Amino acid sequence: MTFTWFGPIPRVMIPDPELVKEVLSNKFGHFGKQSSRIAKLLAEGVVSHEGEKWAKHRRILNPAFHHEKIKRMLPVFSTCCAETITKWENSMPSEGSFEVDVWPEFQNLTGDVISRTAFGSSYQEGMKIFQLQGELAERLVQSFQTIFIPGYWFLPTKNNRRMREIDREIRKTLREIIRKREKAIKDGKTNNDDLLGLLQESNMNESKGNAKLGLSTEDVIEECKLFYFAGMETTSVLLTWTLIVLSLHPEWQERAREEVRNHFVRAKPDFDSLSRLKTVTMILYEVLRLYPPATFIVRRTYKEMELGSIRYPAGVNLLLPILFIHHDPEIWGKDASEFNPARFADGVSNASKL
Ligand code: HEM
């Protein structure tokens, strides 16, 4: 357990998984989410809401992520992957080896997938958002030290001005996509197969003509920004580490290849057979354990709270260290820092000593 200052905010790291569960289950509603200026700029939406507001947003979002709907998006995943692989194959020299920097390749792949699955017919505008969000994230990283200086964000520095401009541009583009789509729905000209269409359909069903019961256009904009932010970087980090560890462990690479060959010898991947890929799933779980794309989660105490026989005052940051917990030998055994997908042979719940 450690204590640090995060700018002016006291922050305590909670490494005990039982206490982490207690914080996340938030039974009494006293462990809240920590909003920040960065989060506001990148994406708010359901991930930053709490209580009634969170429940309402989740209720409206859930139908869009139903597995029957995701099944219909599979051809899009397949097309995007095939395009990436064809690009790599075409870059191959007829002899010798060839190097690919997979990180930007996977960022493009996941950006492409999310643009098509979220905005289907407005794909071009979706790609524009993807590029703008990439630039925004880069600029935020560059100015990371300054975000805790009170008032700094309001200074008209070149970087701040550009970040605000990007934010306005993203919102404007999304507002136009949403308006266009609303009109198409009214004219009966859309098939609602992408995330935005499904979200709008679900929103209309929920609000039943009473706007207060549904999400506003600004709410929908935030959820769309969240699809990009939550879905893209995370997935490309996972894919990049997967290729790295598979290149370091050719025996697992061969086992995964063999399994894929056995399942998809003739057919294209479909939803049900993908969920039967046991070795590939074990590998992905192990990569998520060793290199979790979200390395920590933060919550904060709303009022004085007791946790693990320590009393915390209101306003304390609680850092839930996913990365640390995933590497703890007391939880995973002596080989905690090694790549061993076999630990997931009997599923997630049997992989650790918890
Ligand atoms: C390997 C991939 C991913 C990882 C590791 C990951 C990780 C996480 C984590 C740790 C949270 C909890 C954040 C918190 O409560 O503070 C979260 C929430 C969320 N993620 Fe992901 N995510 C991944 C992929 C995706 C994708 C593909 C999407 C959608 C396109 C997505 C959408 C969301 C949403 C909407 C939430 C908020 C849920 C809620 O608060 O009810 N994520 N994710």
pLDDT of 158-208, one tens digit each? 988 999 999 999 999 999 999 988 888 888 877 667 899 889 889 988 988
Question: What mean pLDDT is predicted for residues 45-62?
Answer: 91
pLDDT of residue 148 exceeding 70, the answer is no
pLDDT of the residue at 174: 92
Please say if the pLDDT value at position 273 is more than 80: yes
Q: pLDDT at residue 271 above 90?
A: no
Distance 231 CA to ligand 1 centre (A): 7
Q: What is the pLDDT of residues 293-339, one digit of tens each?
A: 999 999 999 899 999 999 999 999 999 999 999 999 999 999 999 99
With bands split at pLDDT 50, 70 and 90, how would you rate the model's confidence at 143?
A: confident
Specify the pLDDT at position 13.
97
Pocket of ligand 1 (CB under 6 A): 46-47, 58, 226-227, 230-231, 234-235, 238, 293-294, 297
Is the pLDDT at 147 greater than 70? The verdict is no
Asked if the structure places residue 123 within a domain, the reply is yes
Tell me the H-state helices in 26-122. Answer: 37-42, 51-61, 67-91, 102-119
Question: Quick one: which atom of ligand 1 is closest to the CA of 232?
Answer: 27
Q: Strands 297-301 and 31-33: what pairing?
A: antiparallel
All residues at 6 or more sequence positions from 56 whose CB lies less than 8 Å from its CB, including other chains: 215
Poorest-pLDDT segment among 107-111, 186-190, 255-259, 317-321? 186-190
Number of structural domains found in the chain = 1
| Domain-embedded: residue 284 | no
Looking at the domain assignment, is residue 16 inside a domain?
no
Q: Which domain holds residue 123?
A: 44-89+98-230
Domain assignment present for residue 248? The answer is no
Tell me what the pLDDT averaged over the chain comes to.
90
Identify the residue with better confidence: 145 or 122. Answer: 122
Task: Please report whether residue 319 resides in a domain.
Answer: no
Asked if residue 244 has pLDDT above 90, the reply is yes
160 found inside a domain: yes
Nearest to 11 by CA among 311, 317, 237: 317
Q: How far apart are CA 229 and CA 231, in angstroms?
A: 6
Q: In ligand 1, which atom is closest to the CA atom of 48?
A: 40
Rounded to the nearest whole angstrom, what is the distance from the C-alpha of residue 45 to the centroid of ligand 1?
Answer: 11
Out of 23, 31, 47, 232, mutate this one to test ligand 1's pocket (max ligand atoms within 8 Å of CB): namely 47
Residue 250 belongs to a domain: no
Report CA(227)–ligand 1 centroid distance (Å): 9
Whether 71 is in a domain gets the answer: yes
- Provide the 8-state DSSP code for 215: -
CATH of the domain at 60: 1.10.630.10
Quick one: angle between helices 250-263 and 217-248, nearest 10? Answer: 120
